[in-house]
Amino acid sequence: MLDTMKKVFGFTSFLPDQETIIRNILNRKDVFAVLPTGGGKSLCYQLPSKILPGTTVVISPLISLMKDQVDAAQENGISASYLNSSLNPVERSEVYRDLKKGDLELLYIAPERFVMSNFLEELKTVQISLFAIDEAHCISEWGHDFRPDYLSLTHITSLFPDIPVAAFTATATVKVQDDIIKKTGLRTPYVVRASFNRHNLFYQVKRKEQVESQILNFIHEHENESGIVYRTTRDAVLKLADFLSKHGVRALPYHAGLPAEERKRNQEAFSRDEAAVMVATIAFGMGIDKSNVRFVIHADLPKNIESYYQETGRAGRDGEPAHCLLYFSRGDIPKLKYFIDGIADDKEREIATDKLYRIIRYASHNICRRSYLLEYFGENYPAENCGACDICTGMVEKIDITIDAQIIMSAMLRTGQRFGIRHTIDIVCGANIKRIRELRHDKIKTYGAGKHKDKKHWHFLVDELLVQDVIHQDGDKYPVLKLTKKGIDILYGKETIAALKTEEKKKRPLALGDEGFTPYDEYLFEKLRVLRKKIAEEQNVPPYIIFSDRTLHEMCRYYPGNMSDMQRISGVGDTKLEQYGEGFIREIKAYINENPGRPERQSSAEQSFFPHANLGPKRIKGETIQKTHELFEKGLSIEQIAKVRNLAKSTIEGHLEQLIRDRKDIDINRLVDPAKQDEIKESFLILNTWKLNPIVEYFNGKVSYEEAKFVRALLQQNDSKKIIEK
């Protein structure tokens, strides 16, 4: 088993629970496994497919991804194919022929094919080693993504009584788990509930204000990273994708209303790193196989924890650090409630409502985000501080809002608790309007008590009080505000109340407290990424299928200099070593030769496999920036330098920004029109910020991020005391 894993997949050790799952499958025992995204589900059935005689049949709803899954298996030397509606009759005949001949180790099919009597008869004539049901939660009405097609699998064990069945899902409560086992008829299965803790994911919630600008700002802080932004409606998807594109982000839309060909084209562009950001509805669904998604943003509130967990799970599948950001506003709640209220079945509507309030609590409570998610799935997180969410890292702080809460609740009480949010805030702010005068609400003690703060603050406060169940809304069409028992206690000073305030200055840590997240040579990574993309285009597959980011990161820590060294890199199996090993070794050697000062390579293979830390990243960084400086002085443009150095344009811009800040002799007039420079400098002083987004918005698009960045570096060169970090 271990020998096969190393030769085929290039791994020397199992992830948690993989080994016991595989051993049970090899012993022909049924398995039910809840493994988080990134937990290595595919290895659990792909590895047995190389050991057991016959064909492993994988049942998956992900028709759009089957080709990528098959390509990835084939790259590892597994004979694999798929059968779905995208194949023409000739292609289907070829797959059937290979199946009958026993030439397929792995076959992917969609669940609806399992109800076709002719297909079932074909399966009964060939040797089947295993049935693997992927996304098994789709069979349960209690699950968050029930699919009627999956009900065809309720007969799988009776139709094939001698074949082991393994069912996998990334999200299932205990109730859903029991339902899946019952419906699929698993026979005393080996059950695994792996930890739902995705230790490499950083969770953050921010108050949603101007969400498009907020997202743009985040993306600019994560240049050259791949990410997904989820929106609730198709219109919001198109609008945001267009907004990001106009501001220089390679973003594409994805929703069910787009033509099938356009959806396919956009998904492929994202998978192949031709687009950096996918803006999508949840139609951009389960099992997104791209391993190097570095962030997932929810621009709107998800409908439940399961959906949120699964969608955030598409980040960091390679095990490297990734960021999950949710923008939350109570304004999202009525939209979701509207759809829930339209559910005809009372029980189903009740379940959906309960799940909605659980995700609201996740977004609004000031407890560890990770702990809350794990508790939902029945898992206890043992540590008090996870070190990888906004609450635990101090990105947010608690502020006492008791006095302001009492002002709002006093206004409610003095007006008989008969008015809504807007009227109550108008009273507190001292609005001089006809309705307030007619009702004589300008005469009550609380009138104008909050006029020293703007309406935005009071809307924030009402939201907090609603979320924390201090007040509630009563009535459907014209809801009025009412006090709860908790609210009465706070109003009369028996309790206090705090809210969370976002602290912008603190950033998430680069390493999330895990020893595996060690630094790597980022400049070598850029070169290897370019090589990987070139090979992927030649092979017509997504780059992550050639090598994952994690594998490239390891190359950028250890600089393998021969085939023996390369074979020790995680993710480099025999087939990939033979196909790509020499090419990547050549690229690494060329890079090392361009960057002298490295330690001398020792004679033995063990000694020559040296870590990046010995090189000293600052020295490498200084040398590679110096090379950019030399080429710029020779008169080359940013685009020309990027081409010569085989680096991303944004990397060269970063070099020049650092050179300007370090007072190197850089002619900034070549980078920014001299007529613009003084205006841009002045805008930094006027807006009193180092952030780029407000500057670009200030000029209405007449100034680019790059121009603002270079002028900022010029100002920072003088360490301007007038500008502070906001």
Structure tokens of 704?
């680019």
Q: pLDDT tens digits for 510-521?
A: 434 333 456 788
CA dist., res. 238 & res. 253, Å (int) = 6
Q: 10 Å Cβ neighbour count for 142?
A: 16
Q: State which H helix or E strand residue 58 sits in.
A: strand 55-59
Q: Which domain holds residue 640?
A: 620-717
Show the tokens assigned to 226.
């791949």
Position 515 in a domain: no
Answer yes or no: do 336 and 431 share one domain: no
Residue 169: which of 152, 157, 153, 181 has the closest Cα? 181
pLDDT above 60 (res 357): yes
Domain annotation covers residue 512: no
Is the pLDDT higher at 514 or at 209? 209
Domain stop point among 365, 390, 415: 390
Query: How many distinct helices (H) and strands (E) make up the chain?
Result: 32, 17
Q: Is 266's pLDDT higher than 80?
A: yes
Phi, psi of 194 (to 5 degrees): -70, 165
Kindly state whether residues 609 and 624 are assigned to the same domain. Answer: no
425 and 370 in a common domain: no
Shared-domain flag, residues 51 and 164 = yes
CATH number, domain containing residue 609? 1.10.150.80
pLDDT at 44: 95
When mean pLDDT is compared across 85-99, 374-388, 569-583, the lowest value belongs to 374-388
Chosen domain end from 472, 502, 532: 502
Is 63 inside any structural domain?
A: yes
| 248 φ, ψ (degrees, to nearest 5) | 85, 10
Greater confidence (12 vs 440) lies with 440
At 662 the pLDDT is 78
Domain for residue 507, yes or no? Answer: no
User: Residue 614's pLDDT is what?
Assistant: 38
- What value does the mean pLDDT take over residues 162-177? 87
Based on the fold, state whether residues 432 and 458 are members of the same structural domain.
yes
pLDDT at 92 over 80: yes
Q: State whether 595 and 447 are in the same domain.
A: no
Judge contact between 40 and 17, C-beta under 8 A.
no
User: 135 near 34, Cβ under 8 Å?
Assistant: no
Looking at residue 90, its pLDDT comes to 92
Per-residue pLDDT tens digits for 291-331: 889 999 999 999 899 889 989 988 988 888 899 999 998 78
Q: Give CA–CA dist 222/243, Å, rounded.
A: 17
Region for residue 691 given its phi and psi (left: phi exceeds 0; alpha: psi -120 to 50; beta: otherwise) = beta
Q: How many residues does the chain have?
A: 726
- Whose tokens are 């690229």? That residue is 587
Helix (H) or strand (E) holding 31: strand 31-34
User: What's 63's domain CATH number?
Assistant: 3.40.50.300
Residue 288's pLDDT is what?
66
Q: Specify the higher pLDDT residue, 170 or 129.
A: 129
Task: Convert the pLDDT of each residue in 519-541 to its tens digit.
Answer: 788 888 888 989 999 999 888 88
Is the per-residue pLDDT at 645 higher than 80? no
| Segment 227-239 mean pLDDT | 95
Residue pair 147/141 in contact (Cβ under 8 Å)? The answer is: no
- With respect to residue 260, please indicate whether it lies within any of the assigned structural domains: yes
Rounded Cα distance between 290 and 173, Å, is 26
Residues 698 and 582 in one domain: no
Number of domains in the chain: 5
**Mean pLDDT computed over 548-577:** 91
Lowest-pLDDT choice from 162-171, 234-243, 660-669: 660-669
Does 22 have pLDDT greater than 70?
yes
State the distance between the two ends of the chain, measured CA to CA, in whole angstroms: 55
Instruction: Give the pLDDT confidence score for residue 432 in this predicted structure.
Output: 92
**CA 453 – CA 629 distance, rounded (Å):** 50
Q: What are the b/e assignments for 371-392, b being 16+ CB within 10 Å?
A: bbbbebbeeebeeeebbbbbbb
DSSP state of 389: B
CA dist 191 and 167 (Å) reads: 10
Among the residue ranges 68-82, 284-298, 472-486, 577-591, the one predicted with the least confidence is: 284-298
Which of the two residues, 169 and 325, has the higher pLDDT score? 325
Element (H, E) at 326: strand 322-328
**Is pLDDT at 467 greater than 80 in this prediction?**
no
- Reported confidence tier of residue 722, pLDDT bands at 50, 70, 90: very low
Which residue, chain included where needed, has tokens 């949710």?
Answer: 326
In a domain, 319, yes or no: yes
Stretch among 75-84, 167-176, 194-203, 424-433 having the lowest mean pLDDT: 167-176
Q: What percent of the chain has pLDDT over 70?
A: 90
Give the domain-ending residue among 615, 638, 672. 615
- For range 396-407, the mean pLDDT: 88
Q: How far apart are CA 262 and CA 264, in angstroms?
A: 5
The domain that holds 417 is classified in CATH as 1.10.10.10
pLDDT confidence band for 621 (50 / 70 / 90): very low
How would residue 50 be classed by pLDDT, with cut points 50, 70 and 90?
very high
Is 231 buried (19+), middle (13-18) or exposed (0-12) by CB count in 10 A?
Answer: buried
Q: Does residue 553 lie within any of the structural domains?
A: yes
Give mean pLDDT, residues 481-506.
81
The reply to whether 57 falls in a domain is yes
DSSP 601: P
Q: Are residues 610 and 629 in the same domain?
A: no
Phi, psi for residue 74 in degrees, rounded to 5: -65, -35
**Region of 642 on the Ramachandran plot (φ > 0 left; ψ -120 to 50 alpha; else beta):** alpha
Strands of 385-470, DSSP E: 396-400
Q: How far apart are CA 222 and CA 299, in angstroms?
A: 17
Q: Quick: pLDDT tens for 601-618.
A: 333 333 344 443 333 333
CB 688 within 8 A of CB 724: yes
- The pairing of beta strand 498-502 with beta strand 396-400: antiparallel
Q: Do 37 and 135 belong to one domain?
A: yes
Question: In this predicted structure, what is the pLDDT of residue 160?
Answer: 92
Q: Are residues 603 and 712 in the same domain?
A: no
47 and 166 together in one domain: yes
Which CATH number characterizes residue 685's domain?
A: 1.10.10.1390
DSSP string, 340-380: HHT--SHHHHHHHHHHHHHHHHHHH--S-HHHHHHHHTT--
Partners of 205 in beta bridges: 326
Same domain, 186 and 208: no
